[in-house]
Structures are given as structure tokens and as C-alpha cells.
Amino acid sequence: MSYFIVFAGKGGAGKSTLAALTVKYLLNRNSNPVLVVDADPNFCLPELLAVKVTETLASVRDNALKDKPEGMSLDEWLEIQINRIVEEAKGFDLIVMGRPEGSGCYCAINNVLKRILQEIAEQYRYIVVDNEAGMEHISRGIVNKIDLLFIVSTPAKSSIQAALRINELTKELGITPKKKVLIINMAFKEFENSEKQELLKHFNKIHYVFFDKDFMKFSETGRSVFSLSEEEAVWKNFKKILEDEIE
């Protein structure tokens, strides 16, 4: 049974970095095979995971009908194309979703993509999804199961409000993760008990990843998470959270 770990949050909260660190954690634990899905239109997971991506699912979708050979069904053609763009790395595979569709009708194509992606996911032990704040790919059913949802925020009030809106959106979409966890990233201290108790009305648990200026410098260099020292404070901090939450 595949285990889905999904990250969502406002841009700039650091969810892509935490998603990449989750991949590092799973590989260190020999929990492969892992499928990584970058579902954020502003995708940056490939760089964080040291993978070079040449094509996205968006380009496959946009060209599906135009490029499909005569005599081949849409299902067969899309399955070939999706398997072609899966980037294979050591211990994990990566699919980049790319930008949302344009103004055309993609209903039939999206239905096929949904089925094929779900079939592909069944081949992996863990699936790590870096999702955009609007939860578009979740709303379309491309990711139809969430075991662990990490909603990532900074301590800023605007970021907390965005996290609460994402939480409400999951309810509107009928998404029922087995666990829903709020991550306060770049934290300087834990919240006061009254604020914490208010947030715990919406989330199963709250964790803090504390601010580290050295790690901020690391993030700005564009290096992959695999070059990160095992003694790095942020890594040790977040690894403990993953140990607590991932089944």
C-alpha cells in the first residue's frame, strides 16, 4: 500500500525545501522506491534534489491530441508519454506537473492522466507531493489519497491565515487526510499556549522548524539537500518531526 505525504502552503513558506528533506529522510531510511511529484507550477524540487528536468506533464497534456499517432488510443499514447518524462534518480523517481492548463477543454485528458498517475503511484512505497497553495491537482483528483498532509507556514500572521485557508479548502474539496499537521517553518519560538490551542482545533499537531541563518545561506546557494551535513541543525530538527509523523 502506497503512503502519500503531501506538502501545501503559501509561496515562500519553505514547503519545497521540507518536501526535498523528506525525500532525503526516506532514502536514508531505505524506504525506496519513492515517487516525487512536483505539483507546484513554480517548481523547484528538481534543483533541490539535483535532478535535471527537460519536460513536464503540462507539455504532455498540451500536446496530447496534436501529437497522438493515428490508430493509437489516447490512453496508450499518454501512458507512453508519461513514462517517458519520469526522471529516474538514485532511489526515487520524479514527475513535474508544470503549469495549469490553458483555456481549452482538458476534461478527457485529465481523466486519463488521473488514472495513469494513480496506477504509477501504486508501484511506489512512498509518494511525496509538493503541492501549490490552491490545491489544484488535489481538487482534480490527480492525487486522490493523502495519508499525511503537512501544511507549511511561517510565524507571520498572513502565512498562518493562508495555512488556515488551505485547511478550509481541503474540507471544501472533501479531502480527508489521515493526519493533518501544521509546520511552523523559520520559527524563532513556539506560540503562546492560547494561540497554539486555537490552531489545534484545526490540525492534529503543530511542529516547529526553527530559524537557522546558516541554513538560509545554504538554501540561497541552490545546492541539493543531499549535500547537506547530517549535523545541520535544521535537518536534525525536521528529521525528528518526520520520525514522529511518518508511518
Give residue limits of the domains in the chain.
3-245
Residue 50 has pLDDT above 60, yes or no: yes
The mean of the pLDDT values for the chain is 87
For the chain, what percent of residues have pLDDT higher than 70?
91
Q: Is the pLDDT of residue 96 over 80?
A: yes
| Rounded-to-integer distance, Cα 123 and Cα 53, Å | 21
Q: Which set of grid coordinates corresponds to residue 226?
A: 543531499
* pTM score of the predicted model: 0.91
pLDDT score at 91: 93
Q: Percent helix, strand and coil across the chain, each rounded to 5?
A: 45, 20, 40
Q: Is the dihedral of CA 104, 140, 95, 24 positive or negative?
A: positive
Could you tell me the fold of the domain covering 3-245? Rossmann fold (3.40.50)
DSSP state of 119: H
Q: What band does 121 get if pLDDT is binned at 50, 70 and 90?
A: confident
pLDDT of residue 40: 82
